[in-house]
């Protein structure tokens, strides 16, 4: 599964592309904070990708992005929060309080 990434100065998305450029089969949306960290706002997986571990792959991608940029992740999205809480190996970049 190819996870792609688009971002601007204030927001970004990790996604699995559909048939068109703006059609996402799965997405994890985040916004950047003033201190350079990110807040994951929403994760959504299409019905056709359910059960294929795509949500975990999206969270793993944002974790790797955070590590490579020396930033932290605040999960507002309940799915992302759940993954970050269950995976101790991701807690180095998570703000869970």
Higher pLDDT residue, 12 or 18?
Answer: 12
Mean pLDDT across 36-46: 96
Per-residue pLDDT at 42: 97
Tokens at 53, concatenated: 């571990």
Q: What percent of the chain has pLDDT over 90?
A: 90
Is there a contact between 45 and 83 (Cβ–Cβ < 8 Å)?
A: no
Mean pLDDT across 44-57: 95
| Radius of gyration for the alpha carbons in the chain, expressed in angstroms and rounded | 13
Burial of 82 (0-12, 13-18, 19+ CB in 10 A): middle
Beta strands (DSSP E) in the chain are: 4-7, 11-17, 24-32, 38-45, 73-75
Q: What is the CATH class of 4-93? A: alpha beta
Per-residue pLDDT at 20: 79
Is there a contact between 35 and 57 (Cβ–Cβ < 8 Å)?
A: no
Mean pLDDT across 25-48: 96
Residue 31 pLDDT level (bands cut at 50, 70, 90):
very high
Is there a contact between 81 and 95 (Cβ–Cβ < 8 Å)?
A: no
């Amino acid at each position: 599964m190819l996870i792609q990434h688009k971002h601007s100065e204030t927001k970004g998305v990790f996604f699995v592309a559909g048939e068109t450029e703006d059609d996402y089969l799965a997405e994890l949306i985040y916004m950047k904070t003033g201190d350079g960290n990110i807040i994951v706002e929403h994760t959504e997986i299409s019905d056709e990708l359910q059960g294929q571990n795509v949500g975990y792959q999206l969270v793993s991608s944002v974790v790797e992005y955070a590590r490579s940029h020396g930033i932290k992740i605040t999960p507002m999205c309940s799915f992302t929060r759940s993954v970050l809480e269950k995976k101790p190996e991701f807690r180095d970049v998570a703000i869970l309080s």
